[in-house]
């Protein structure tokens, strides 16, 4: 039986067969409602009787793919209803990154080749930097450079700032336009109310719904655990610490006139080291969890795009920490070029892959908090 022929499907009313299938599942689940205590997806689903494309993307962004509703479902395969909410919502989510991406020409570019594109971009930038420096003064590549300003022996600070500032601003612009498109598609007004925003911030900071209703995420061995949430936290807070480290180092440079590298006890180094360690173990744990998931619940076709973001975070941290340890040795120029290449690739691929999922999820949580308050007359959000 094809997806569009199954009970509840409404072919023709959605942009893709996948959204038609998601509509069918939500229609079945809305009749059943057995899973309403597991996460925010089911209470949000119960507040509506029809599922336009924007609402399906909203529901998909609320899902953490914990797998609990698949394991609990009496209609999951081999039942003829073929209800597989985690996999279908994962596929809808992955499609949404391309649907709302800016510019249009790059939509879908990373969907299947994300890992290869990211690594090729990182190596290309590193090779360009090494080639550029080698042509001007090859001795820089093999020398030992120490003290304030040592990094700028490889590339002048202003060149570095222009190159990476442009990549960063491009990423911010593309991400902002993507979020705007998503926000409009899920039918939300520009104005935000403080209570919903605060509720969404708390839910995102604690990853409240990533627990399968309290018992954790399911893997192929059907023994749920909370490790995915722990590694998500490491990744999220590690990323914030590294971002804070970069911002403080920029202030040091422009406001205090202090050039990197800084001593190990200085704030940018402390934050960068803690964040870097978290960004080694967080993405590694998430990748292991990904490989251990039951294949029937995951979107295997988009593995490359999902793996690319984790791989880029891991490599950024690994090369950054190696640079910290070996910065006073002759390995510094090569390590710095590789680190800069990975950071550049991370920046330009941010708007097209898994990173935007975190932002779309936050937008979905704001909407959920808002509509839940409206639905219950201002009562506490489910959970």
- Interface residues with ligand SF4 (CB under 6 A) are 28-29, 32-35, 38-39, 41, 63-69, 72-75, 83, 85-86, 89, 209, 212
Instruction: Report angle CA 318, 119, 333 to the nearest 5 degrees.
Output: 50
Least distance between ligand SF4 and beta carbon 239 (Å): 22
Phi, psi for 338 (deg, rounded to 5)? -65, -45
CB of 46 to ligand SF4, least distance (A): 10
CB of 53 to ligand SF4, least distance (A): 18
State which residue, 39 or 305, has the beta carbon closest to ligand SF4.
39
Which CB sits closer to ligand SF4, 208 or 327? 208
- Tokens representing 358 are 């975190």
**Terminal alpha carbon distance of the chain:** 37
Q: Give the C-alpha distances (Å, rounded to integers) separating 75 from 60, 69, 213.
A: 19, 10, 19
Name the minimum Å distance from CB 73 to ligand SF4. Answer: 3
Complex with ligand SF4: residue 184 or 202, whichever CB lies closer: 202
Judged by CB, which is closer to ligand SF4: 35, or 280? 35
Separation between Cα atoms, residue 136 and residue 19, nearest integer Å = 55
Q: Which is nearer to ligand SF4, 29 or 133 (CB)?
A: 29
For residue 76, the minimal CB distance to ligand SF4 (Å) is 7
- Distance of alpha carbon 245 from alpha carbon 258, whole angstroms: 14
Q: Which residue's CB is nearer to ligand SF4, number 88 or number 249?
A: 88
Min dist. Cβ of residue 383 to ligand SF4 (A): 12
Residue 240 phi, psi (nearest 5): -60, -40
Structure tokens at 169: 């601003």
Nearest distance from C-beta of residue 221 to ligand SF4, angstroms:
17
Q: Pick the closer one to ligand SF4 by CB: 200 or 318.
A: 200
CA distance 178 to 170: 12
153-162: long-range pairs with CB below 8 Å, 24+: 153/333, 154/129, 154/333, 154/336, 154/337, 155/129, 155/340, 157/253, 157/259, 160/340
Which of 33/220 has CB closer to ligand SF4? 33
Burial per residue of 205-214, b for 16 or more beta-carbon CB atoms within 10 angstroms, e otherwise: eebbbbbbbe
Nearest to 255 by CA among 236, 271, 268: 268
Give the shortest CB-64-to-ligand SF4 separation in angstroms. Answer: 4
Q: Residue 75 or 236: which CB sits closer to ligand SF4?
A: 75
CA distance 382 to 304: 34
Centre a 10 Å sphere on the Cβ of residue 37 and count the other Cβ atoms it contains: 13
Nearest-approach distance from CB 219 to ligand SF4, in angstroms: 13
Query: 147: buried, middle or exposed (CB in 10 Å: 19+, 13-18, 0-12)?
Result: exposed
Minimum distance from residue 75 beta carbon to ligand SF4 (Å): 5
Query: Which of 347, 360 has the CB closer to ligand SF4?
Result: 360
Beta carbons within 8 Å of 291's beta carbon, 6+ residues apart: none
């Amino acid at each position: 039986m094809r997806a569009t022929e199954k009970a509840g499907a409404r072919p023709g009313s959605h942009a893709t067969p996948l959204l038609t299938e998601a509509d069918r599942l939500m229609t079945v689940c809305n009749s059943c409602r057995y899973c309403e205590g597991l996460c925010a997806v089911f209470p949000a689903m119960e507040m509506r009787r029809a599922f336009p494309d924007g609402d399906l993307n909203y529901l998909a962004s609320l899902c953490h793919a914990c797998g609990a509703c698949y394991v609990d479902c009496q209609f999951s395969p081999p039942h003829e209803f073929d209800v597989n909410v985690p996999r279908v919502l994962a596929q809808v989510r992955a499609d949404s990154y391309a649907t709302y991406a800016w510019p249009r020409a790059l939509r879908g570019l990373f969907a299947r080749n994300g890992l290869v594109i990211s690594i090729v971009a990182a190596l290309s930038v590193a090779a360009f930097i090494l080639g550029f420096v080698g042509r001007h003064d090859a001795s820089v590549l093999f020398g030992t450079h120490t003290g304030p300003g040592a990094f700028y022996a490889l590339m002048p600070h202003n060149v570095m700032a222009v190159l990476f500032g442009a990549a960063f601003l491009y990423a911010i612009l593309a991400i902002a336009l993507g979020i705007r498109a998503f926000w409009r598609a899920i039918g939300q007004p520009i104005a935000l109310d403080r209570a919903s925003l605060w509720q969404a911030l708390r839910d995102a900071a604690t990853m409240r719904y990533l627990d399968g209703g309290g018992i954790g995420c399911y893997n192929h061995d059907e023994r749920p655990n909370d490790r995915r949430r722990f590694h998500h936290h490491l990744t999220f807070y590690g990323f914030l610490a590294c971002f804070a480290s970069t911002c403080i180092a920029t202030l040091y440079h422009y406001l205090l006139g202090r050039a990197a590298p800084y001593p190990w006890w200085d704030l940018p180094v402390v934050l960068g080291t803690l964040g870097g360690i978290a960004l080694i173990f967080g993405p590694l744990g998430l990748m292991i969890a990904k490989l251990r998931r039951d294949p029937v619940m995951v979107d295997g076709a988009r593995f490359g795009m999902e793996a690319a973001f984790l791989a880029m975070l891991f490599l950024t941290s690994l090369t950054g920490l190696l640079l910290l340890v070996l910065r006073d040795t002759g390995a510094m120029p090569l390590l710095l070029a590789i680190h800069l290449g990975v950071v550049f690739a991370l920046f330009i691929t941010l708007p097209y892959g898994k990173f935007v999922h975190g932002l779309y999820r936050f937008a979905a949580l704001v909407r959920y908090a808002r509509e839940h308050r409206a639905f219950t007359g201002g009562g506490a959000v489910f959970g």
